[in-house]
Structure 1
Amino acid sequence: MKVEVVPHDPTWRVKFEDESKLVAQALGTNVIAIHHIGSTAIPHIYAKPIIDMLVEVKDIAKVDEQNSAMAALGYEAMGEFGLPGRRFYRKHDATGKRTHHVHTFENFSGLQRHLAFRDYMIAHPEDANRYSELKRKLAKQYPDDINGYVDGKDGFIKDMEKRALEWKRSQNICNM
C-alpha cells in the first residue's frame, strides 16, 4: 500500500457526515453512535485521505447480519481484522483507492481513547502540528511501507493518548 499524506481537506467532515448516515441506515437500530476519528477529523493537519468512522453498537454479533447491507454501500467486510471484538469494513472508489474505514465495536473501552486523542489534538494545535510533521516525514521515509509508517507513529501516538486522557479527565473534573 502506497503511503500518501495530504493537506487537510475541509470536505472530509461533510464526507464523514454523509457516509455516516448511510452506514447508520445499513447497520440499523443496533447503532448507538458514529464518531469521526483519525487524522481526517483533526483540522489543519496532513492525513491519509481515508475517512475513519468508529461505530458503537449494542450487539457486535448483529453487525455480521448486516454485511450485505454494507456491501451494497461498497464496503468489504474484513471481520475482526486483527482486533478481537471489532468488525472492520473498508471501502474503495471506482479507481480502487481506499476512501473509508468503519471500525465497529460493542462497549468499546478504547472509544474514550480515540475520542480523547481527537479532541486533544483539536484543542492543542501545536501538538497536532507536530503530529502532522511526523506523518509527512514518515510518509517520505516509508513511501511504500505502511508498516514502517505506522510503527514510526506509534511512540508519538501513545504519548499523545496518555496526555489526551489526562487532559480529558481534567476537563471532566472542571465541568462537574
Structure 2
Amino acid sequence: MVERTRVIEIVPYHPEWKIEFEKIKSMILSYISDLIIKIDHVGSTSVEGLAAKPIIDVDVVIESYDVLPEVIERLAKEGFQHEGNLGVEGREAFKRTLDDGYMKYHLYVCPKDGKGYLEHIALRDYLRENETAREQYAALKYKLAEDHRYNIDHYIEGKNDFVTGILKKVL
C-alpha cells in the first residue's frame, strides 16, 4: 500500500546529500557489485543548488534484464522488496524493509539503455548545466509542495510538463 498522507517537503540543497549517496552506494555495491555496471545519483538531490524533497534517488545500472533475477534475489536477502516498475518503463523499484540508518532513499535497478534510466540522466545533467532551468524547477517544486502538501500524485503531476519539456529538448 502506498502512503498518501505524508507531508511533501521541499528543502534547499544540502551538500550532505552527496555524502549520503556515497554511503548508500557502498552498501549496495557490497551486495551486487559483480552484477552491475555502475550506480548513479539521480533526481533532484543529485543536482547541486537544486531544492528537493530530502530523499536520495539511486539508479543501479545493469547490462540487461538477464541479471535482474539474481539482483532481486540478492537484494531480497539484504532486506529489499522488489516492487516492479511502478508504471515506469525501464526501471525496477525496490523498497527497503528495515531501517538501515541511512537517509531516506529510493532504489531503482535499470538496464543501461532503459527509458527510465536515460531520462533520469538526461534531466539530471540538463539541470546541473542550466541555472535558469534549475531555478525555475525549484520555484515550481516549492509552489507544488505548498499547493499539494498531502497529495504526492498531484505534486508529481504538476511537475510533468516541466520535466517533459526538458526531456524533449535533450533526448
Count of residues in Structure 1 that have an aligned counterpart in Structure 2:
164
Tell me which residue corresponds to 2:68: 63
CA–CA distance in 2 between the matches of 1:8 and 1:16?
14
CA–CA distance in 2 between the matches of 1:72 and 1:11?
28
The residue type paired with residue 164 of structure 2 is: K
Greater CA drift, 47-56 or 66-75: 66-75
TM-superposed CA distance for 1:163, in Å, is 2.6
Tell me which residue corresponds to 1:116: 122
For 1:145-160, what aligned pairs fall within 5 Å after superposition? 145-160=151-166
SS at structure 2 position matched to 1:56: strand
CA–CA distance in 1 between the matches of 2:86 and 2:151?
19
Q: Is 2:7 aligned against 1:15?
A: no
Query: Is the CA contact (8 Å cut-off) linking 1:92 and 1:99 kept in structure 2?
Result: no
TM-score, normalization by structure 1:
0.80
The runs of 5 or more residues in structure 1 that have no matched partner are 166-176
Query: Is the CA contact (8 Å cut-off) linking 1:93 and 1:99 kept in structure 2?
Result: no
SS at structure 2 position matched to 1:7: coil
RMSD (CA atoms): 2.5
TM-superposed CA distance for 1:67, in Å, is 3.6
The residue type paired with residue 113 of structure 1 is: E
**What do the CA deviations read for 1:123-176 (whole angstroms, capped 9, x no partner)?**
1111101000100000000011111000000001011122334xxxxxxxxxxx
CA–CA distance in 2 between the matches of 1:85 and 1:122?
23
TM-superposed CA distance for 1:72, in Å, is 5.4
Query: Is the CA contact (8 Å cut-off) linking 1:60 and 1:104 kept in structure 2?
Result: no
CA–CA distance in 1 between the matches of 2:127 and 2:90?
27
Tell me which residue corresponds to 2:84: 79
The runs of 5 or more residues in structure 2 that have no matched partner are none
